[in-house]
């Protein structure tokens, strides 16, 4: 037993240096890799990050997107596109260069976390579609249709406005959170439409006597039910069934509209509205928290500045002939009036404060005495007027005429 324990201890003693060596070597490798990939241009990255947060750059990018949208609208007119062909191509190249510069700056600042943002991925896709038309020869008639199709996708550049508007980003986040519930609602709606499509095809899709145009097969029946869900032209569809002699089809149409439109379709809209309201409420709370954080930071900055100023005064008091802080501000106190703030060491426990407080009470008492005297004069005047009016009303009519 002792022999096995001794061998076990020796094994541990032999293994410890190896494990220690392995751990230290791994740490060294990790540190070397970290040092290898550590950025050396932190100041330049900080400058670029500050530049990206500049409101002026945001205004420039929003203006660029709007101008790009204006040029895309102008290209829909053949005459303008033919007459201003060179100008529009040059403007497109300049706008594309601005988009590329912004994309490269964003990627350069944080290349690892760049692809974690959905808006950065959207910008990458938009930039990819923007460069695809330049890879096709539009003068070749064989590829002109492909070039024209890709040129039409340039309208996706307008989606860059979402990244610059916090409200639109909030709305897109709400829609993304709604997708799961919306998919369930759409699946239930599709199941309902599938059931009624099979039922409608069996009831009204007879090849000889039925409505073959609307209920002849499953595809046409689903399209008809989609029209009934949107309540678009449902009266014409019902009239077509009645023209074929299906008078009892009114119950079928009414039941499906009640279930499809008033239940599922409005449920879909309600889910979207609820999620948008929740997202808007969260957005308001975030803005409120940011405002409070900014106020707190401003308050801390003011307190820090005040502490530095007081510390400077205290240091000045220690390095001068003044023995106390009150002596340091005596000259300043002499310049103050009775209504100004006085710098005190012990609040409510100094002669200066008591003197100021008593003076304020004397002024308040004097004001009250003056108001009381004024009230007495007003009462005396009103009493005299009342007596004169009473005497005038009690005098004989002859005296009133004479008067």
The segment with the largest mean pLDDT, out of 10-24, 74-88, 94-108, is: 94-108
Residue 348: pLDDT over 60: no
User: What pLDDT, on the 0 to 100 scale, is given for residue 346?
Assistant: 54
- Give mean pLDDT, residues 7-19: 42
Task: Clarify whether residues 196 and 238 are in a common domain.
Answer: yes
The pLDDT confidence band at residue 321, using thresholds 50, 70 and 90, is low
- Give mean pLDDT, residues 85-107: 90
Task: Clarify whether residues 147 and 173 are in a common domain.
Answer: no
Residue 43: pLDDT over 60: yes
What is the end-to-end Cα distance of the chain in Å, rounded? 142
Give the up-direction half-sphere exposure of residue 124: CA atoms within 13 A in the CB hemisphere: 12
- Specify if 366 maps to a domain: yes
- Give mean pLDDT, residues 118-123: 86
What's the pLDDT tens digit per position in 196-255? Answer: 999 998 888 888 888 888 888 888 999 999 888 888 888 888 888 888 888 888 889 889
- Specify if 122 maps to a domain: yes
- Distances in whole angstroms, Cα of residue 335 to Cα of each of 42, 338, 339, 346, 392: 52, 10, 12, 20, 61
CB-based contact 342:356 (threshold 8 Å): yes
Residue 310: pLDDT over 80: no
Residue 378: pLDDT over 80: yes
- Specify if 319 maps to a domain: no
More confident residue, 337 or 55: 55
Looking up residue 176, the CATH number of its domain turns out to be 1.10.287.70
Task: Clarify whether residues 59 and 139 are in a common domain.
Answer: yes
Where in the sequence is the domain holding 374, given as residue range(s)? 336-394
- Give mean pLDDT, residues 110-123: 85
Task: Clarify whether residues 176 and 272 are in a common domain.
Answer: yes
User: What pLDDT, on the 0 to 100 scale, is given for residue 317?
Assistant: 62
Task: Clarify whether residues 175 and 269 are in a common domain.
Answer: yes
User: What pLDDT, on the 0 to 100 scale, is given for residue 90?
Assistant: 92
- Specify if 330 maps to a domain: no
> For the residues of 251-267, what is the DSSP string, one character each?
HHHHHHHHHIIIIIIHH
**Final residue in a domain of this structure, among 163, 192, 209:** 163
Task: Clarify whether residues 50 and 124 are in a common domain.
Answer: yes
Task: Clarify whether residues 152 and 176 are in a common domain.
Answer: no
Token pair listed for 398: 């002859």
Own/partner contacts of 47-50, CB < 8 Å, gap of 24 or more, are 48/105, 48/108, 48/109, 49/109
> For the residues of 115-173, what is the DSSP string, one character each?
GGSHHHHHHHHHHHHHHGGGGS-TTSTTTHHHHHHHHHGGGGGGGGHHHH-HHHHHHHH
Task: Clarify whether residues 145 and 197 are in a common domain.
Answer: no
- Specify if 399 maps to a domain: no
- Give mean pLDDT, residues 247-273: 85
More confident residue, 39 or 97: 97
The segment with the largest mean pLDDT, out of 18-22, 81-85, 101-105, 288-292, is: 101-105
- Specify if 294 maps to a domain: no
Task: Clarify whether residues 110 and 10 are in a common domain.
Answer: no
**Final residue in a domain of this structure, among 119, 135, 163:** 163
User: What pLDDT, on the 0 to 100 scale, is given for residue 21?
Assistant: 41
Residue 307: pLDDT over 90: no
Residue 7: pLDDT over 50: no
Residue 94: pLDDT over 90: yes
- Specify if 254 maps to a domain: yes
What's the pLDDT tens digit per position in 48-59? Answer: 888 888 888 888
- Give mean pLDDT, residues 29-45: 61
**SS3 assignment, position 4:** helix
CA 178, CA 78: separation in Å to the nearest integer?
41
User: What pLDDT, on the 0 to 100 scale, is given for residue 98?
Assistant: 92
What's the pLDDT tens digit per position in 145-169? Answer: 888 888 888 888 888 888 887 777 7
Task: Clarify whether residues 71 and 28 are in a common domain.
Answer: no
Residue 119: pLDDT over 70: yes
**Final residue in a domain of this structure, among 110, 141, 163:** 163
- Percentage of the chain with pLDDT > 90? 7
In 310-340, which positions are buried (b, 16+ CB within 10 angstroms) versus exposed (e)?
Answer: eeeeeeebeeeeeeebbebbeeeeeeeeeee
Looking up residue 57, the CATH number of its domain turns out to be 1.20.120.350
CA 16, CA 402: separation in Å to the nearest integer?
133
Mean pLDDT of the chain: 78
Task: Clarify whether residues 50 and 151 are in a common domain.
Answer: yes
User: What pLDDT, on the 0 to 100 scale, is given for residue 15?
Assistant: 42
CA 24, CA 29: separation in Å to the nearest integer?
9
CA 167, CA 117: separation in Å to the nearest integer?
17
- Specify if 51 maps to a domain: yes
Residue 22: pLDDT over 80: no
CA 268, CA 179: separation in Å to the nearest integer?
10
CB-based contact 160:136 (threshold 8 Å): no
CA angle 146, 147, 153 (to 5 degrees): 95
Task: Clarify whether residues 191 and 229 are in a common domain.
Answer: yes
More confident residue, 401 or 350: 350
- Percentage of the chain with pLDDT > 70? 78
What's the structural domain count of the chain? 4
């Amino acid at each position: 037993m002792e022999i096995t324990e001794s061998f076990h201890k020796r094994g541990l003693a032999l293994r410890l240096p190896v494990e220690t060596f392995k751990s230290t070597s791994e740490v060294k490798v990790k540190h070397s890799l970290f040092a290898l990939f550590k950025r050396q241009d932190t100041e330049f990255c900080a400058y670029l990050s500050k530049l990206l947060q500049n409101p002026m750059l945001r205004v420039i990018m929003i203006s660029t997107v709007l101008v790009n949208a204006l040029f895309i609208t102008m290209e829909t007119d053949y005459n303008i596109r033919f007459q201003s062909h060179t100008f529009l191509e040059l403007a497109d190249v300049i706008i594309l260069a601005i988009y590329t510069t912004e994309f490269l700056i964003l990627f350069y600042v944080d290349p690892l976390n760049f692809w974690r943002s959905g808006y950065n991925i959207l910008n990458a896709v938009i930039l990819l579609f923007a460069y695809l038309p330049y890879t096709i020869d539009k003068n070749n008639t064989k590829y002109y249709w492909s070039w024209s199709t890709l040129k039409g996708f340039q309208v996706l550049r307008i989606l860059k406005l979402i990244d610059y508007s916090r409200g639109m980003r909030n709305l897109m986040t709400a829609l993304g959170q709604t997708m799961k519930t919306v998919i369930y609602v759409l699946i239930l709606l599709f199941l309902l439409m599938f059931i009624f499509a099979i039922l409608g095809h069996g009831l009204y899709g007879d090849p000889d006597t039925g409505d073959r145009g609307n209920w002849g097969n499953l595809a046409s029946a689903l399209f008809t039910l989609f029209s009934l869900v949107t309540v678009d032209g449902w009266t014409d569809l019902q009239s077509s069934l009645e023209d074929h002699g299906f008078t009892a089809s009114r119950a079928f149409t009414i039941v499906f509209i009640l279930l499809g439109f008033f239940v599922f379709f409005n449920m879909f809209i309600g889910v979207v509205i609820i999620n948008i309201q929740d997202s808007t409420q969260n957005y308001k709370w975030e803005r409120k928290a940011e405002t409070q954080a900014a106020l707190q930071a401003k308050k801390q900055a003011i307190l820090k500045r005040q502490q530095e100023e007081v510390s400077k005064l205290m240091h000045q008091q220690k390095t001068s002939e003044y023995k106390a802080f009150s002596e340091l501000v005596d000259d300043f106190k002499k310049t103050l009036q009775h209504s100004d703030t006085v710098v005190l060491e012990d609040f409510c426990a100094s002669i200066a404060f008591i003197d100021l407080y008593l003076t304020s009470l004397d002024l308040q008492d004097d004001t009250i005495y003056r108001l009381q005297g004024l009230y007495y004069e007003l009462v005396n005047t009103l009493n005299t007027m009342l007596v004169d009016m009473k005497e005038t009303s009690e005098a004989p009519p002859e005296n009133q005429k004479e008067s």
